[in-house]
Each structure stands twice: as C-alpha cells, then as structure tokens.
Amino acid sequence: MKLSVLRWLFDPATSLLAQRLRAQESGHMSYDTSWRLARVTRHPDEVVYRHHGHLAEDSGDER
C-alpha cells in the first residue's frame, strides 16, 4: 500500500490540510513536503521529526 494512502487512512485531517497547502502553492510543493508541514502545524510536538526523510542517506563520513 502506498504511503499517501496510509496517511489518508490514519490521519485524514492532516492529509486534507496538506492538500489545501499544496493547492495554495499551485502544486509546486510535493505532497510529501506539504503533509510534513501540515503534520507539524497540527502537532507541534513532532517538530523533531520534521527533517526525517529529508536527510542524505549517507554523508560519506568515515568514523
């Protein structure tokens, strides 16, 4: 099942807000980005998770 479908099933209010935000940007914002923004707007305590998925997979640093 696609992630967007799961998001609609588990949190329709956030998904609807994400659609509204995306429409305001005339579709220039991805659904994933708009959903994350909507989620943080509705649940400010989850701001620590905002950048999850936007980070590089491997920074190439050898430790």
| Full pLDDT tens readout for the chain, 63 residues | 788 888 889 989 999 999 999 999 887 888 888 988 898 999 888 887 766 665 555 555 544
Domain count, the chain: 1
pTM above 0.75, yes or no: no
Q: Whole-angstrom Cα distance, residue 45 to residue 52?
A: 14
Maximum distance among all alpha carbons in the chain? Answer: 44
The whole domain housing 9 covers 3-44
Is 35 within the bounds of a domain? yes
Which residue stretches of 1-30 are H helix? 3-10, 12-24
Please provide residue 11's backbone torsions phi and psi, each rounded to the nearest 5 degrees.
Answer: -145, 75
| Residue 25 placed within a domain | yes
The reply to whether 58 falls in a domain is no
- CB atoms < 10 A from the CB of 39, how many? 20
Residue 54 in domain:
no
